[in-house]
Amino acid sequence: MRTGVSAWLSTVDHKKIAVLYMLTALFFFVVGGLEAMAMRAQLSAPNLKFLSPETYDQIFTMHGTTMIFLVVMPVLVGFGVYLVPLMIGAGDMAFPRLNALGYWLTLGGGFLLYVSFLAGGAPDAGWFSYAPLSEKAYSPHSGMDYWALGLLLLSAGSVIAAVNFVVTIATLRTPGMTIRRLPLFVWITLVNSVLILAALPALNAALVMLLSDRLLQAHFFDPTHGGSPILWQHYFWIFGHPEVYILVLPAFGMISEIIPVFARKPIFGYGFVAASTLAIAFLSFGVWVHHMFAVALGRVFISVFAAASMLIAVPTGVKIFNWAATLVGGSIRFTTAMLFAVAFLLEFTFGGLSGLAFAVVPIDWQLTDTYFVVAHLHYVAFGGIAFALFAGAYYWFPKITGRLLNESLGRWNFWMVVIGFNLTFFVQHILGLMGMPRRVYTYPDLPWWGVLNLISTFGAVILGLGALVFVANLFASLAFGARAGNDPWDAWTLEWAAASPPPPDNFERVPPVRSRRPLWDLKHPESPDWATRGGG
Amino acid sequence: MTTQELLLTAWDWEPSVVAGCAALAIGYLALALVGRTPWSAADAPVGHAPAQDKKPARGPVADRGVRPTILFLSGTLLLLLALVSPLDTLADGYLFSAHVVQHILLALIIPPLWLLGTPRALAEAALQRPLIRQIERALAQPLIAWPLGVATMILWHLPPLFNAALASDSLHIFQHLSFLITGTIFWWPVLGPIPERRIAPLHYAIAYLFSACVCCSLLGALLTFTPPGAYPAYLNPDDRLGILRLVRTGWGLDPKTDQQLGGLLMWVPGCFVYLSGILATTARWYGTAEQEA
Amino acid sequence: MRQRARLGMAMFLLSEAVFFFMLIAAFVYFRAASLAAAAANLNLGVTAVYTACLMASSFTMWRASATGLRAWLGGTILLGAVFLFGQGSEYLRLFHQKITISQSLFGTTFFTLTGLHGLHVLVGIALLAILFGRRALAVDVVALYWYFVDIVWLAIFAIVYLWTFR
């Protein structure tokens, strides 16, 4: 029996692998956050020279790439890998060794991306690396090659995780756990995994083509030999748009678990949340052109995609409605997890609305590539995804570690993050409307630009400190936190029947499953779900 | 001619079409009024309502009151409009995109409406007859219905066949009938009135519809990006109504834009129809109580 | 257990299908510019023969999967190797005409698409060789992969070769 570090390095236990994913994501979150701090420092006043333009380009490229591929993807896979087997009453994932491989590929990809700093410079063409800037002629140093290779490894890790999720959910459910009784987090993970399998290959194809161009002098995106830079944009966004849903759907899953427990009510409209997830997955492939409205593709062409883009807001709206309706009439308990979950509803809705504005082509033409986009994406990615992740952390930390995160520190964490986040990014809407472009290392001293940027930087400092409070809470609670029992929140899904933390094969005995809330049925034998409303 | 004049005058009340639609509508209403086949919830076949479920059976729409009638008649009305309104005039001679709209109606909108409007009891009564039962058994299985529906769509878009249909009236009628018939066959395993004859489990139904959606989208995408002239009749139409200027300049639909639009309509809105089918099937699946304890 | 492995392979092949679709789409996107070079330099007849070998290997794979006999497995490996040999000799012939991945759009799209396919065949042969060495427990899972690789080749053959010479 291995112990200590070597146990962790050779583990195939889904719980340990999940923690590895989460810790890796946490590390890169701090790195990406520092990159953001550097950017905000450089932008805090006009005409600063804290970072050179070349350095700034590398920093913003790495910030975006890191946050998306080394923080959000891994942490979501981590939560999935930890929770899915527990929630379906299984002992592990279907392919434990593949699970481990997925993690190590992810770490490898992160390593490749960051070693670029030492190998002549990090990638610097933005997280979506448009051609021909990304081609050898305009980016001769090897940073772009590291970017492409790193992403290929990361993408392999994601595909592996997705395969594992589908097979696990399809074949390892405990008897009685039918598809219609799945916790929404699991259902959403299933749909999301198929989405990953369909979308990531588009990125892989594009990366292979880019590497061919750069390393073998091929001409896919090289206009001087008949290639097409627009093709890169199409291929990248055919991946890129589904990718944003890949990032947000598991967050939706977490919120769907957390809100009902702290509102003491089953989720309103389970079927609608489930069906709208399918709708989002399918529709996400039909809207990518809205990232390219400014590329002169033809009015008829972009009009159809503009209409589709407006339509895709509907299923997400359905979900928001269902979560809000769950709150109505519930007896709400504002733990830190619930605070973040409710804040998620507000912030993500706001971010969704700013995104909807972009579906209107003339608005997009005015605001594309300005700070309005930066504001929008951070409202959905941070106000949405990151807030859901904070909620998930506070909710499931007790299960993973056996200790509760400190609620007082949690309150500080919450308020600093909320205030800091909104200060940082709300003003960026205004900056965008005023015309400040994104990806600029500095800006001229135009009226209000300096002040608003300074406010944004000030907000970023508060946000950063709030994030540090979170990290401190994690480690302090790990060492000194109050012990949590199996079920500190009086929740209803199977993971709360296991010990905190669970033993290697998770359950001594899996509770019987006859409805969507097996633990409710166990705790309330006089009014179980399966006898009252059919339970699914 | 202005757009308004076009919309008011360019109607082609082809007798066979009008008679056919009238026959469908009257026949349906006759069956309803005569009451030979009941369609209220109270008469739903016994044994299909789950024992525990205290609410009325949430089965297919067909078992509930006036809704099926509205759906069936809407479908028939759409059929009439698709074939006699200015849409038909534009489709036949002037605009590929109009023709695409017409075909989408014929294959993807009208058959689902008809199927959703057919009460279960009526379908079951029809299936008592051995001949009809044999036909249904042969055609309504997914592995037959899917290729029939998808192949019909693809084959008719091959330029030689599409152009031939534009040139010959009888072939054109055959084309429209084939869309209606194979469309109905295609949608039967998904939206048909008899639950036991539908595809189960859910993921097969999703795969059935999604794969068809992909084919439709691929065809549409191909047409969007192909240079105009795949269907030469639209390049230089015979301007019998004198509206060519209205169409080209007034509406901005030159041949290139027109073909692009047609392709896009197949690609995006066409796909949405299949998607709605997927969502309806999923919603229905989540709505039915589970058989297992 | 077998069922899980088969489902896992099927899911993986789903993602591979999208991957090849994207590469084929790039070929089609640049087809107009590459057509002349394709028609002048590709050899339909010879490639058809190697294609037939690959299709035959699907048959032997099916037999191997059904019977578990090493002979069928060996036959599949052999036919796959013949196909790769054919690909290789076509590549050499093209190199002699100075057509490389960087020479033209035809070279770029042709070598990327067929090269990645060939790599997948090579991996398939490696998997089959591993199976050859031990009891053929996972034959039907590898068989799925092999059929997939063959189907992708059919699509490539149709679009790159047949469509060029229509």
pLDDT in tens, chain B (293 residues): 788 888 888 888 888 889 999 999 998 888 776 655 455 444 444 444 443 334 443 333 334 568 888 899 999 999 999 999 888 888 888 889 999 999 999 999 999 999 998 888 888 888 888 888 888 888 888 899 999 999 999 999 988 899 898 888 889 999 999 999 999 999 999 998 888 888 888 889 999 999 999 999 989 988 988 888 888 888 888 888 788 888 888 888 888 889 999 999 999 889 899 999 999 899 888 887 665 43
Give A483's strand partners: A403
| Spatial CA neighbour of A252 closest among A320, A181, A190 | A320
Beta-carbon count within 10 A of A77 CB: 30
Q: Is A417 on the interface with C (CB under 8 A)?
A: no
Count the helix, strand and coil residues of chain B and give each as a percent rounded to the nearest 5. Answer: 75, 0, 25
Binding-face residues of C in 102-121 toward A, CB within 8 A: 102, 104-105, 107-109, 111-112, 116
Instruction: Give the integer Cα–Cα distance in Å for C24 and C27.
Output: 5
Is the alpha carbon torsion for A164, A169, A171, A172 positive or negative? positive
8 A C-beta contact, residue A143 and residue A112? no
Q: In whole angstroms, what is the distance from residue C141 CA to residue C151 CA?
A: 16
User: What's the maximum distance between 2 C-alpha atoms anywhere in chain C?
Assistant: 51
pLDDT in tens, chain A (536 residues): 567 888 889 899 999 999 999 999 999 999 999 999 999 999 999 999 999 999 999 999 999 999 999 999 999 999 999 999 999 999 999 999 999 999 999 999 999 999 999 988 899 999 999 999 999 999 988 999 999 999 999 999 999 999 999 999 999 999 999 999 999 999 999 999 999 999 999 999 999 999 999 999 999 999 999 999 999 999 999 999 999 999 999 999 999 999 999 999 999 999 999 999 999 999 999 899 999 999 988 888 899 999 999 999 999 999 999 999 999 999 999 999 999 999 999 999 999 999 999 999 999 999 999 999 999 999 999 999 999 999 999 999 999 999 999 999 999 999 999 999 999 999 999 999 999 999 999 999 999 999 999 999 999 999 999 999 999 999 999 999 999 999 999 999 999 999 999 999 899 899 999 999 999 999 998 888 888 764 44
Compute the distance between CA of residue A315 and CA of residue A93 in angstroms, rounded to an integer: 30
Evaluate whether residue B2 is within a structural domain.
Answer: no
Interchain CB contact of B141 with A (< 8 Å): no
Pairwise CA distance, residues B194 & B48, whole Å? 11
The whole-angstrom separation of Cα A216 and Cα A231 is: 18
Round to whole Å and give the CA distance between A350 and A345. 9
- A370 DSSP 8-state letter: B
Q: How many domains does chain B have?
A: 1
Provide the 8-state DSSP code for A91: S
In a domain, B190, yes or no: yes
Query: pLDDT tens, position by position, for chain C (166 residues)?
Result: 788 999 999 999 999 999 999 999 999 999 888 888 888 889 899 999 999 999 999 999 999 888 878 889 899 999 999 999 999 999 999 999 889 999 899 999 999 999 999 999 999 999 998 888 776 568 889 999 999 999 999 999 999 999 888 7
Residue C60, class by beta-carbon neighbours within 10 Å (0-12 exposed, 13-18 middle, 19+ buried)? buried
Rounded to an integer, what distance in angstroms lies between the CA atom of residue A455 and that of residue A452?
5
Contact present, B225 and B263 (Cβ < 8 Å)? yes
Question: Which residue bears the tokens 């789950």?
Answer: B50
Contact assessment for residue C112 and residue C23, using Cβ atoms and an 8 Å cutoff: yes
Per the CB < 8 A criterion, the answer to whether B140 and B192 are in contact is yes
CB interface of A with B, residues 266-295, below 8 Å = 270-272, 274-275, 278-279, 282-283, 286
Please give the model's pTM, rounded to 2 decimal places.
0.91
Q: Using the 8-state DSSP alphabet, how is residue B239 labeled?
A: -
Q: Looking up tokens 């047409």, which residue turns up?
A: B223
Contacts within 8 Å (CB) and 24+ apart, A222-228 = A222/A131, A222/A132, A222/A135, A222/A137, A223/A132, A225/C104, A225/C105, A226/C30, A226/C33, A226/C104, A226/C105, A227/A131, A227/C30, A227/C105, A227/C108, A228/C29, A228/C30
Distance CA B77, CA B29 (A): 14
Residue of A286, A300, A530 lying closest to B260 (CB–CB): A300
- Does residue B281 sit within a domain? yes
- Tokens representing A288 are 């990518």
Per the listing, tokens 């009135």 go with B193
Partner residue facing B268 (CB), from A176, A304, A534: A304
Q: Can you spell out the DSSP letters for A407-474?
A: HHHHHHHHHHHHHHHHHHHHHHHHHHHTTPBSS-S-----TTHHHHHHHHHHHHHHHHHHHHHHHHHH
Q: Number of Cβ pairs closer than 8 Å across A and C?
A: 97
- 3-class state of residue B64 by DSSP: coil
- Rounded Cα distance between A48 and A35, Å, is 17
Contact (CB, 8 A) for A312 and A295: no
Q: Residue A109: its pLDDT value, please?
A: 96
Residue A342 lies in a domain: yes
Interchain contact B276–A (C-beta under 8 A): no
- Closest Cβ–Cβ partner in A94, A212, A228 for C112: A212
- Chain A residues whose beta carbon lies within 8 Å of the beta carbon of residue B53: 534
CA pair distance A27, A465, nearest whole angstrom: 16
Q: Which domain holds residue B169?
A: 13-45+58-287
Measured CA to CA, the distance from residue A80 to residue C158 in angstroms comes to 41
Q: Is A428 within the bounds of a domain?
A: yes
What is the CB-side half-sphere exposure of residue B51 using CA atoms within 13 A?
4
**Is A94 part of any domain?**
yes
- Euclidean distance between CA atoms C160 and C35, whole angstroms: 9
**Calpha distance A110→A149 (Å, rounded):** 10
**Closest Cα in chain A, distance from residue B98 (Å):** 15
First and final CA of chain B: distance in angstroms? 67
Contact yes or no for A301 and B260 at CB 8 A: yes
Q: Chain A contact for C101, CB < 8 A?
A: yes
Interface membership of B204 toward A (CB under 8 Å) = no
Residue A301 placed within a domain: yes
Q: SS3 for A342? A: helix
Q: Do B286 and A271 touch (CB under 8 A)?
A: yes
The encoded tokens of residue B15 equal 């007798």
Contact A70, A61 (CB under 8 A): no
What is the structure's pLDDT at B247? 83
The two three-digit tokens of residue A314, written as one number? 């509907």
Q: Torsion over CA of A283, A192, A490 and A338, rounded to 10 degrees?
A: -60
Overall number of domains in chain A: 1
B54 and chain A: CB distance < 8 Å anywhere? no
Is B287 close to A271, i.e. CB distance below 8 A? yes
pLDDT at position A35 is 96
For residue A2, being part of any structural domain is answered with no
Distance (Å, whole) CA C166 – CA C39: 10
- Alpha helices, H only, chain C: 2-29, 31-41, 44-67, 70-96, 105-133, 139-156
| Residue A483 main-chain phi, psi, to 5 deg | -70, 140
CA dist B270 and B216 (Å) reads 7
- Domains, chain C, in order of start with CATH, read 2-162 (1.20.120.80)
Size of chain A in residues? 536
- Confidence (pLDDT) at B32: 72
Q: Are A153 and A112 in contact (CB under 8 A)?
A: yes
- Spatial distance between the Cα atoms of A145 and A243, rounded to a whole number of angstroms: 21
Counting beta carbons within 10 angstroms of the beta carbon of residue B214, is it exposed (0 to 12), middle (13 to 18) or buried (19 or more)?
middle
- Domain-located, residue A4: no
Residue A19 domain-assigned?
A: yes
Q: What is the pLDDT of residue B55?
A: 41
- CA dist., res. B20 & res. B79, Å (int): 10
∠ CA(A389), CA(A395), CA(A400), 5° rounding? 95
CB contact under 8 A, C101 and A216: yes
Output the pLDDT for position A419. Answer: 97
Beta bridge partners of residue A370, listed in sequence order: A437
Residue C90 tokens read as: 């076509």
Q: Cβ of C22 under 8 Å from any chain A Cβ?
A: yes
Query: What is the amino acid identity at position A139?
Result: S
CATH number for the domain that contains residue A87: 1.20.210.10
Residues ≥6 apart with Cβ < 8 Å to B158:
none
Core vs surface per residue A27-61: b (16+ CB within 10 A) or e: ebbebbbebbbbbbebbbbeeeeebeeebbbbbbb
Amino acid letter for position B77: L
Chain A residue with the nearest C-alpha to that of B290: A536
- How far apart (Å, rounded) are the C-alpha atoms in residues B64 and A43? 64
CB-CB neighbors (< 8 A) of B271 in chain A: 286
Q: Which helix (H) or strand (E) holds A196?
A: helix A184-216
Please choose, from the candidates C77, C73, C57, the residue with its C-alpha nearest in 3D space to the C-alpha of residue C65. Answer: C73
Is residue B193 domain-resident?
Answer: yes
Give the count of Cβ contacts less than 8 A between chain A and B. 60
Q: Please tell me the distance from the alpha carbon of residue C60 to that of residue C51, in angstroms, as a whole number.
A: 14
Whole-angstrom distance, CA of residue A536 vs CA of residue A514: 9
Contact yes or no for C15 and A228 at CB 8 A:
no
C12 in A contact zone (CB under 8 Å): yes
Domain that holds residue A61: 11-532
Q: Look up residue B244 and give its two tokens.
A: 């060519």
* C95 interfacial to chain A (CB closer than 8 Å): no
Nearest CA in chain B to A532: B52
* pLDDT given for residue B64 in this prediction: 52
- Subunits in contact with chain C (3 or more CB pairs closer than 8 Å): A
Q: Of the candidates A164, A199, A220, which has its C-beta nearest C26's C-beta?
A: A220
In the stretch 467-486 of chain A, residues with CB closer than 8 A to chain C read none
B257 CB within 8 Å of a chain A CB: yes
- Quote the DSSP letter at residue B53: -
Contact check, Cβ <8 Å, A301/B53: no
Query: Quick one: pLDDT at residue B186?
Result: 95
The torsion defined by the Cα of C43, C45, C51 and C52, in degrees rounded to 10, comes to -170
Beta carbons of A536 and B275 less than 8 Å apart: no
Cβ neighbours of A202 in C, within 8 Å = 18-19, 22
CA distances from residue B117 to A18, B123, B135, C10 in whole angstroms, order as listed: 51, 11, 21, 38
Chain A positions in Cβ-Cβ contact with residue C8 (cut-off 8 Å):
94-95, 98, 163-164, 166-167
The Cα A515–Cα A534 span in angstroms is 8
Let me know if residue A1 belongs to a domain. no
